[in-house]
Structure 1
Amino acid sequence: MSMSFDPFSQLDRIAQSVFDTSRQPRIMPVDLFREGAQYVLNADLPGIDPGSVDVDVDGHLLTIRAQRSTANQEGVRWLAQERPFGSYMRQFSIGDDVNPEGISASYDNGVLSVIIPIAERAKPRKIAVESAGERGRKAVVA
């Protein structure tokens, strides 16, 4: 197996050992979109143990946390170790237009899906428009 020398990855490795960046929370890429009466958030968390994923809502703050453990293999000589490990965290501000009690989450094939329903009061609704003549007739009948 042939591997080329990449000086930038070596600098990354050295910086990680000097500044201990492995303890810093990692960023997780997400997609967020509205679909009908809900928001859908998909976060990439490949290789994460589902038991380490934590989703919570505190007021207007949705927080996602996860942990990936390092491969603890003694007696090996690493040739490349590029897969990040450590803690992952993302926080999102949610507005008054969502129903925090209805938020649900699932984890499948390395993707965390969080479904955030829109509150009834924020959903579009149709307002009936009456004409002046209809209002007058209703008042007389009543």
Structure 2
Amino acid sequence: MTLMRFDPFRELDRWTEQALAGSRNLRTMPMEALRRGHRFLVALDLPGVTQDDIDVTVERNVLTVRARRAPLAQEGDDVIVDERPHGEFSRQLFLGENLDATKLTADLTDGVLNLEIPVSEASKPRKISLSDRPVTTAAAGQ
């Protein structure tokens, strides 16, 4: 498997945060991940987050995305409604050995962090050509 679909520790963190916060407003990054040819594409929704507030790191086979969104309210504001999550968000993806994390690219467009991770050359299917040498049948006749 190339991307871990379920991380029990992450789910436990989400449930704990939900219970302690007392609301359904979790600090998550909705994600879409797919394979297209020889590359994996990952899109993470980060509305209202600037490029300077996003950190993407890879260590061994773990890709970590951290983002920070500050609240709009400033000191002295009279907040009427505050339903937007703010603070620090993080998401980890476990990359398979068949991916080339050294060639990972990332860009932020319209509040969506787009990651592209190519399949490593060694993992791509390759055609093996047959040699023109005649096969000896001496071993087969004995």
TM-score, normalised via structure 1 length: 0.72
Aligned partner of 1:51 in structure 2 is: 52
1:75 Cα offset (Å): 3.3
1:60 equivalent in alignment to 2:61? yes
State the percentage of identical aligned residues. Answer: 35
The CA deviation at 1:80 is 1.3
C-alpha displacement at 1:20, in angstroms?
Answer: 6.3
2:80 is aligned to: 79
Q: Tell me the alpha carbon deviations over residues 62-116 of structure 1, each in whole angstroms, 9 at most, x when there is no partner.
A: 0000000011333332221101100110001111101111011000110000110
2:139 equivalent in structure 1: none
SS in 2 for 1:54: strand
* Paired amino acid for 1:108: T
Aligned equivalents of 2:129, 2:21: Cα separation in 1: 63
Larger Cα Rg: Structure 1 or Structure 2? 1
Name the SS for the 1:43 alignment partner. Answer: strand
- What is the match of residue 121 of structure 2? 120
Whether 2:6 is the aligned partner of 1:39: answer no
Give 1:49 deviation, angstroms: 1.6
Unaligned runs of 5+ in 2: 1-16, 136-142
Across the two proteins, how many residue pairs are aligned to each other? 116
Greater helix percent: which structure? 1
User: 2:6 corresponds to which residue?
Assistant: none
> Which of 104, 114, 134 in structure 2 is aligned with 1:136?
134
Report the residue type matching 1:65 in the other structure.
R
Q: Is the 8 A contact 2:73 2:79 kept in 1?
A: no
Residue 27 of structure 1, CA deviation: 1.4
RMSD across aligned positions (CA): 2.5
AA paired with 2:47?
P
